[in-house]
Amino acid sequence: MRKPRDFDAEMKALEDKARELKTRKVQQLGELVIATGADQLSSEELAGALVAITETKDTAKREAWAKRGVTFFESRPRRTAPASQRNHRSAAAQPGSTQSPSGGTGSQ
């Protein structure tokens, strides 16, 4: 006879994973803001710029921003996590963990 599935435990594990992914996303967005120098802007300026970007339907502008973003990421050397963080992140940084923003700085 098969062992019954523990749906509650499975749901808790999925909720924990979703919480971890959300936390990682927020951390990566913060790192991106700092890396681009956007942390020098006021919260209002940054929010206004992001709202303008999301409302932009002009594909040429969006493609130009994406190209600037690619250039930005290609020009920056990759940092490696300290050994203490590397082991902790290795299990979490598996499939689907990379986030590549399509925007860049958005100052056009």
Which range of residues forms the domain containing residue 27?
7-40
Asked if 12 and 35 sit in the same domain, the reply is yes
How many domains would you assign to the chain?
2
Asked if 34 and 23 sit in the same domain, the reply is yes
Q: Can you give the pLDDT of all 108 residues of the chain as single tens digits?
A: 788 899 999 999 999 999 999 999 999 999 999 999 999 999 999 999 999 999 999 999 999 999 999 999 998 776 655 554 444 444 444 444 444 444 444 444
| Amino acid present at 5 | R
Asked if 11 and 34 sit in the same domain, the reply is yes
- Contacts of residue 100, defined as CB under 8 A and 6 or more positions apart, other chains included, come to 73
H or E stretch including 10? helix 7-36
Question: What count of other Cβ atoms lies within 10 Å of the Cβ of residue 36?
Answer: 19
> pTM (2 decimals)?
0.57
